[in-house]
Amino acid sequence: MGEICRKDCLARNMSKMIKCQPQEYSFIPKTWIFPAEYTQFQNYVKELRRKRKQKTFIVKPANGAMGHGLSQSRISLIRNCEKLPAQEHFIVQEYLDKPFLMEGYKFDLRIYILVTSCDPLRIFLYNDGLVRMGTEKYHSPNEANLSQLYMHLTNYSVNKHNENFERDETMDKGSKRSISWFTEFLRINDYDVAKFWGDISELVVKTLIVAEPHVLHAYRMCRPGQPPGSDSVCFEVLGFDIILDRKLKPWLLEVEI
C-alpha cells in the first residue's frame, strides 16, 4: 500500500493517472515532488506571476506515511517560492484556500476503508469516521498568517497542542466529531447527502485502482501457484484524509495505514 500511502508515491502515481485521465482524476491538488520536479514547479510559479496571480503552497515531508514524518515543525505554508531549496526531498502542493467551513473553522474528514481482497479488488467503505477541525477561525492565507498552522492545518497531531483544542465525550461537539453527525448536518441544511457519499466513494475507488496492480503483484509473489480469485488470506484498513472545498467537492490529501 506504500504506492498510495507514501506522499511521494501517491503524488507520482496520481500524476500518471492525471496525464491519462485528467477528468477522472481531478480530485488531487496540483503536486510536485522535490527535487525531481523543482524546475517544473518554478516554471508554474513564473507562469502565475506572468498572469499576475498569486497562490499559496503547502510543503510536506515526502516520505511521511503511516503516522510518521508528520509534525507541525515539518509542515509549512509558503508564497515566496523562490526561497525553496532545490535539493531537499519534500512535497509541494497547491493549497486549497476556499474550504468548506464548519462554524468558521477549517476541517478535514478521516474516512475508513476496508480492503478484503485484491484478486478481485473488494472494498468496503465505513459510513462513519472523524471530522477533525482546526482550532483557530479560518481566514484566507496571506503573508501575515502563513505561520498560523492551527488555522490552516487540520491534523490532530498539530491541533491537540493548541489551548483552544476542545475535547468532548460526545461526537457532535468539540474539535473532533463524527461523520455521522456531519452527514446529519448536511441533511438538515439541504445539501445533497447521496451525492456527497457518491463523490467520496468514487474518490476511494479511483485511488485504490492506482494501488491495485502493485498490491496484486506483491500478493501473488507471496502466494505462488494460487489460482486467480482464490480466497483472500489478508486484509488492510486504510484511512483516507479528505478535505471539502466550498462547493462540497472532496479532495484527497493523503492515505494512511
Which residues have a Cβ under 8 Å from the Cβ of 146 and sit 6 or more positions away? 56, 76, 77, 78, 79, 152
Q: Which amino acid, one-letter code, is at 190?
A: D
Categorize the per-residue pLDDT at 64 as very low, low, confident or very high, splitting at 50, 70 and 90. low
Q: Give the pLDDT mean for 59-79.
A: 68
Burial of 221 (C-beta count, 10 Å sphere; 0-12/13-18/19+): exposed
Sorted by where each begins, the domain ranges of the chain are: 2-256
- How high is the pLDDT of residue 70? 43
Judged against a pLDDT cut of 70, whether residue 190 lies above it is answered with yes
State the pLDDT at residue 31: 96
Question: What does pTM read for this prediction?
Answer: 0.92
Task: Average the pLDDT over 32-54 and give the result.
Answer: 94
Is 68's pLDDT higher than 90?
A: no
Each residue's pLDDT tens digit, 98-138: 999 999 999 999 999 999 998 889 999 999 999 999 999 99
Q: Binning pLDDT at 50, 70 and 90, where does residue 83 land?
A: confident
Report the SS3 class of residue 256: strand
Tell me the mean pLDDT in the region 58-73. 62
Q: Say how far apart CA 244 and CA 11 lie, in whole Å.
A: 19
Of 186, 157, 122, nearest to 254 (Cα)? 157
How confident is the model over 4-21, as pLDDT tens digits? 999 999 999 999 999 999
